[in-house]
Amino acid sequence: MKVWFITGASRGFGALMTKEALAAGDAVIATARNPETVTAQFGDHPNLLAVALDVTDEAQAKEAAAAGIGRFGRIDVLVNNAGYGLLGAVEEATAEEIEKLYATNVFGLLKVTRAVLPYMRRQRSGHILNFSSIGGYFGYPGWGIYGSTKFAVEGLSESMAAELEPFGIKVTIIEPGFFRTDFLSDASLAVSPASIADYQGTPAGNMRDFAADANHAQPGNPAKLAAGIMTMVDSANPPLRMPFGSDTIAMIEAQHASVAKELAIWRELAVSTDYSRDATAVA
């Protein structure tokens, strides 16, 4: 039996992963700002501990981790799922909006991870799943600030994977594309109210209309993603990156091709800056 610690467990991917884990006979420390929203869905399950957690509160993160250890004795899988989106051009976002987004998507993830890692290091095992996005691999117009939080998650996760390997702790970055959750609804998406007229009709401005029209029409099936995560976690060698969705795969392949093409064009200038390319350089 694995013990899961899932943030944002009251809805979306978090609730679906909680359901899958409980169905598999695992235990779940399911966290949410209001834990009653968790128990309302799953009832008084013997393998479920619903805990109050605002990921921006470091003390509460430590209390939640300690409560989970007190109940189940260990934490095998940490899922940093809590987060939300911000739609608007980079210039349109206010400092307050940006700081609030980073407080949850980046600093909140770090606070929860630091609260759980001492227990994983002590048991010399564990698996951390950090939710990123295809927006953490490719910069979309209109999603620059949100995407930057996911780029941060990707970089942190890569470093943690190397740092934690000696302790038997694995790290996987979850990269969903567009899935039919409530992510594009008011519950999970903030839209910068400061709309600048110049951006109307540009890719950034058009993204506002696309997001409204795409809500609940996305190609990805959330239940299949949750089941896929269970399969991935059970594997002997889970990947560093786990993309989900055909749209994600297409964008990753296109991004790789674009980078390779640009590198080929500018390679000579790039390598010309080495000392070895300077005939007058002194060893």
Active site residues per annotation: 132, 146, 150
What single-letter DSSP state applies at residue 28? E
Residues 6+ away with beta carbon under 8 Å from 208 = 87, 88, 142, 191, 195
What single-letter DSSP state applies at residue 179? B
> Could you tell me the CA-to-CA distances from 129 to 40, 71, 161, 222 in Å, in that order?
25, 22, 11, 16
Best CA proximity match to 55, nearest among 28, 80, 86 = 80
Print the SS3 string covering 220-281.
ECHHHHHHHHHHHHCCCCCCCEEEECHHHHHHHHHHHHHHHHHHHHHHHHHHCCCHHHCCCC
In 24-143, alpha helices (H): 36-42, 58-72, 95-105, 107-123
The span from the CA of 3 to the CA of 76, in Å, is: 5
The span from the CA of 9 to the CA of 48, in Å, is: 11
> Could you tell me the CA-to-CA distances from 23 to 51, 165, 187 in Å, in that order?
19, 29, 27
Instruction: State whether the Cα torsion 187-195-199-256 is positive or negative.
Output: negative
The span from the CA of 248 to the CA of 178, in Å, is: 8
For residue 168, what is the enclosing H or E element? none
